[in-house]
Structure 1
Amino acid sequence: MPRPLRAVTALSLLTVLGLAGGPPAVADDDPSAPPGTVTTSPPPSVDPTSPGLKLADGATLAPAKVLDIKSVVEDLGGEERREDTNENVTFALQAEVLFPKDSPKLNPEARSRIDAIADEIKKQNATNVRVFGFTDNLGSYAHGLVLSKQRAEAVHDQLASRLGGTVTFEVRGYSEDYPIADNSTEEGRRKNRRVEVSFPRGESSGDSSSDSAGTAGG
């Protein structure tokens, strides 16, 4: 079982205000897009009677609607990270936790961490799982594409060995694209070298612990 996570680093509510009778918001759910990593703060409260609020004649503000709730839990070393939203669970593992430097071969100790993610996938009854690899910006972009894909495939292979043929996987490598931290520092680059595993939440399941990520450019 993975180490208990010790620090809750973010909890954000994404809300929207709309005009009554206006067109509904449409979410982009492209399955090839990496899991969301940007958190936003709730919008400021709006006074519907404010003279600065320009509404069409006869229009009124619709009630605020919560689109998503994101909870991020990260261990104090930043090696593991878990994000929960209303719809998805995402685990991210730093590359150094999973692989030797510049290698796609799993460390022996990495398997137990991946197996714990497989247990959570079973718990959520997920049948579609995304495994995405990322690197930092060191080295060439082309090398990062190959390495990030190979590392994602290695994690996929371990997950598939535990989950059998009941799960469909999407496996991709993104090189240095979609960083979650500043590549100008080693601390940031370490976070960007990661593998992320995401899957839909089950309708009736509890939370568990795990998190942060690893795929590396080196």
Structure 2
Amino acid sequence: VSPLVNLALLGAAWGVANGGTTGWIVGGLLFATVKPHLVLFPALLIGLELLKTRQWRVLLWTGGLLLGLIFVAFLLQPDWFMQMMGALSSGDFRGGQAGLVSTGYVGLRELGVSGWVFAPFGVYVLYRWVKDGLTPAGFSLAIVVNFLLIPYSRSYDDVLLILPLVALAKGQKRADWGVFLLGAGSVFGLPFTNFSMLTPVVLAIACLLNPLNTDK
């Protein structure tokens, strides 16, 4: 499902930035909510861009249909929201306990690293959006930073990090491919080691060094 969520999110972002049809954008955003925690921050950028460009029709359709889906969810499972919030607040899912994450999972939260540590990364992403708008480099950085801010993710969700790696390659000159190699090593090397939880951290650093995400 994660690759499809990635494609849906990319399709929505492309539609917003390039004047895509309302149905295309709305459909992509709604499908991406299948895994809302993986798209939360990038979706925020899309929402801000929609407000900035005054694409009210897309906002109304997305908001209306999303409320409709939430209503249906409450009809089918009245306590779904309380169950989800209970699992998140109690932290029972951490360290491989029963709940949202499969047994054996170890991430930054299990190691005691708070998401607030990476809050400056999120602030910088918003700064780049204010300065540059919705760009591939900025959107890719948002995808990576989202992994640092959310409570958890699974290793197969790392497929979403392929887009930031592609954007990273595009932003490098031939004489300076060290940054890309750093990012590639984080995506294709770290997941196979005991330091897999550092994958988004290293990739975020590489993306921040991308000339397209700096004022140079």
> TM-score normalised to the size of structure 2?
0.26
| Greater relative contact order structure (CA < 8 Å, 6+ sep) | 1
Larger Rg: 1
Q: Which structure has greater helix proportion?
A: 2
Q: Which structure has greater strand proportion?
A: 1
> TM-score normalised to the size of structure 1?
0.26
